[in-house]
Amino acid sequence: MNIAVNTRLLIPGKLEGIGWFAFQSLKRIVRAHPDAEFHFLFDRPYSNEFIFAPNVKPVRLFPPARHPFLYYFYFEQALTRYLNKTAPDLFLSPDGFLSTRYRGKQLPVFHDLNFMHFPHFLPMLTRKYYLHYFPKFAREACRIATVSEFSKTDIVRTFSYPEDRVDVVYNGVNQVFAPVDESEARGTREEFTGGCPYFVYVGSLHKRKNIGNMLRSFDAFRKNDPEQHKLVIIGAPMFGSGEIRKAFGSMAHKNDVLIMGRQYGDVLRRLVASSRALLLVSHFEGFGIPVVEAMQSEVPVITSDVASMPEVAGDAALFVSPDSVDQIAEAMRRMVSDGELRKELINKGRQQCLRFSWDKTAERLWHSMEKCMSG
């Protein structure tokens, strides 16, 4: 059995979202199926940390697919030539990009369709590429995997795709996330926020993440906050950060916002677990991994009442409209003032996060792959 895999987002030190999904699921799949040969297709020099087992053959294709023009040359030209030459039993694409010129079996993972509903959140050329090609990718796919029931319904409706050919694989949660005792939490606060309590956001600094309203809500909350909370923002800037800079520049309490860039491992674990609550008030999420990571860290969650967030959070979060600064600020006040509410959400979160694991993700994705190869 020969399986080709799009691994262009396995980039050392830059695993976020889809890259993290690819890392966690592929690592498990290749080790669980030693009789299969996996061709990992990279678009730049690769790191050996991603060659998870002896049955992985790394292949570098050209050019690097980092721009809409290069997407075309990579997926429609270089990738197509390689797939036609090797004729794999399946081409798996964790980021959803396919070749429209290859006639073999292809399985994309569509994490969400935010670009179909909020195209203005993307740069013009990227927007045009996504709107033109992703409907074509759906038509080329033998099946589609996705990470929530919400996204499954969205795919079926948006692309008129057969419901019985969409498989929900969910995301998992990294076991590095765990609760900390009060001593470690206090030490973390001393190290990063001068001992002050804080709210934490984890994710990219992208328009659809609604960072502007999050900043405005924090500013409103801080108008009457005797504990002098901070807001810790963990993530790398992306398209649309100009609007974020504008919102940040107009804040009265901008000095209480710490923008820390990407963080990993023990630092990320401590920052999440030592926070008062997680804020994830996006306009759109296909899943929202930080919600589950916070729950596993026994940290309560404030999140949006739209898209996949209610499905993923269950009854273990405070839900707000992402468009309402007042609602978000009030949720922050409640999280600070109501200790019983925090305890209730933490207890419910312990149970909710048990639904998700990367082992389950890998098993479900493999089953979807098997359906493609046997169908």
Q: Give me the residue spans of the domains in the chain.
A: 2-171+357-374, 182-355
> Could you report the per-residue pLDDT of 93-103, keeping only the tens digit for each?
999 999 999 99
Predicted confidence band of residue 256 (pLDDT cuts 50, 70, 90)? very high
The two tokens of residue 21 are: 């999904």
Q: Indicate the pLDDT class of residue 274, thresholds 50, 70 and 90.
A: very high
Q: Which helix (H) or strand (E) holds 302?
A: strand 301-304
Q: For residues 130 and 121, what is the distance between their CA atoms, to the nearest angstrom?
A: 12
The domain covering 182-355 belongs, at the CATH homologous superfamily level, to Glycogen Phosphorylase B; (3.40.50.2000)
Mean pLDDT of 109-138: 95
CA distance 295 to 315: 12
What would the mean pLDDT of 177-206 be, rounded to a whole number? 96
Report the distance separating Cα 259 and Cα 256, nearest Å.
10
Report which of 254, 275, 272, 255 is spatially closest to residue 263, judged by C-alpha positions: 272
Percent of the chain with pLDDT strictly greater than 90: 90
pLDDT at 144: 98
| The amino acid at 59 | V
End-to-end CA distance of the chain: 15
Mean pLDDT value of segment 238-251: 78
Report DSSP state, residue 206: -
Out of 15-19, 114-118, 241-245, 255-259, pick the least confident: 241-245
Same fold: 2-171+357-374 with 182-355? yes
**What stretch of H or E contains 144?**
strand 144-146
Choose which CATH entry (3.40.50.620, 3.40.50.1100, 3.40.50.2000, 3.40.50.2300) describes domain 2-171+357-374. 3.40.50.2000
